Structures are given as structure tokens and as C-alpha cells.
Amino acid sequence: MRLFPRKSLPKRLSRLQALSLFATLDARELGIVEGLLHEREFLAGEVIFDAGEEGQAIYIVQEGQVQICRPGQGENGLVAELGPGQFFGELALLDNASRALQARAGSVCKMSVMFRADLMNLLEVDAKVSSKIALQLARHLGRVVRAATAGAAMEVRL
């Protein structure tokens, strides 16, 4: 039993905590991150970022659906579909490489965007917040690698 019951988070912060990238942050840390996020809205079919562009931001889906696809290949080019709470664009953000795929809004969607320079600044200034975010990013990449490996094994079996 807690001597001092934990205060419930304000709605805007609990919405942020629901996103997988920030799930482990406490109220103070969520407040810091909230100050760094930009809100964007995209219409269905609108390109969020294009393959070949240099990645400068990580996108977190708040509402709607996002399609990750290979441009110019129509339905066949669809690689993944992401929903609320999921994030994308992290690879280009980490190694400053070009975007490998195109991200397109599957429906009207609302997104939180964290700019690369702000994240890098956070990494330099607040080790605790940045380590928590980095750990979530690493977990996410681990899941991607495991999924890719499982997919490759399936292809071999087929």
C-alpha cells in the first residue's frame, strides 16, 4: 500500500503515456516530452514522408491509420499498416539515413511528431528520459527484427 497515493495523470499526459514509445515515462518526464512534440493532421492519401528523403522526425500515430509502402506499386507495395499508439520513421531518425519507404495516411489521421534535433538534445541533456525512450525504441526494433526473421524462416519453409 502506498503512503501517498499516486496522482492520476492529466488527460493530455495520459494520452501521451498510452503511446508505446513513452509508456515508461512518469508525469514529469511526459511533461518534458510533451513540450517537444508537434501536432500534425493528414488527409487520407496524403504522403507523410517519401522514400529517399532524409529522415528528420519520428511520427507517432494518435488517430487514424498509416500505410507504409513502396511508392508506385499500388496495393502490392503495402508493407505495413499502423494504428493509434504505434510509431514509425525511427530508423532514419537513428542513423540519419534516407527514408527507405513511403508513409501515407490510410485515413484522416492525427500525428505527434518529434523532431530529430529535439530528441538528440534531450539525449544530451536528460539521461533518464532519453534512456527510457531509447529502451522503448530498442524493444520496438527487436520486435521488428524478430518479425522479419520469422517471416524469412516462413519463406524458407514455404
Partner 1 sequence: MSLRRRGPGPVVWAGIIAGTCLLLVLLQKVLWLTVPCLFALLLYYFLFSPMQWLMYRGLSREQSATTVMALCLLVMGVFFGLMLPWAAGHLLDGQSIATRYVQGGMGLLERSLVALEKSSHLFANAHLAEKLATRLDVLSGGIEAYIEPVVTAILAWAPTLLLTPFLAYFFLRDGGRFQRMLASALPNAFFERGLCLLHEVDRTTRAYFQGLLRLTVLDTLTLAAGLWWIGFPAPVWLGLICAVLAWLPFIGSLLGGLLVVLVAATDFPDAPAMAYAAIGLFLAARLLDDFVYMPVTIGRSLHLHPLVTVLMIFVGGAVAGVPGLLLVLPLLGVVMVVGEALGTLATDSRLLARYAQSRQLRREQAQAGLTG
Q: Where does this chain bind partner 1 (CB under 8 A)?
A: 28, 31-32, 35, 38-40, 42-50, 53-57, 113, 115, 117, 125-126, 129
Nearest distance from C-beta of residue 18 to partner 1, angstroms: 22
Give the residue with the Cβ less far from partner 1, 4 or 158.
4
Report how far residue 89's alpha carbon sits from residue 125's, in angstroms, rounded to the nearest whole number: 23
Nearest distance from C-beta of residue 27 to partner 1, angstroms: 9
Report how far residue 102's alpha carbon sits from residue 53's, in angstroms, rounded to the nearest whole number: 9
Nearest distance from C-beta of residue 129 to partner 1, angstroms: 8
Report how far residue 82's alpha carbon sits from residue 77's, in angstroms, rounded to the nearest whole number: 15
Give the residue with the Cβ less far from partner 1, 32 or 80.
32
| Cα angle 44-80-18, degrees, rounded to a multiple of 5 | 80
Element (H, E) at 102: strand 102-105
Cα dihedral 140, 141, 142, 148 sign: positive
3-class secondary structure, 99: coil
Nearest distance from C-beta of residue 96 to partner 1, angstroms: 9
Amino acid letter for position 99: R
Give the residue with the Cβ less far from partner 1, 72 or 156.
72
Nearest distance from C-beta of residue 81 to partner 1, angstroms: 19
Give the residue with the Cβ less far from partner 1, 19 or 29.
29
Q: Are 101 and 111 in contact (CB under 8 A)?
A: no
Give the residue with the Cβ less far from partner 1, 95 or 155.
95
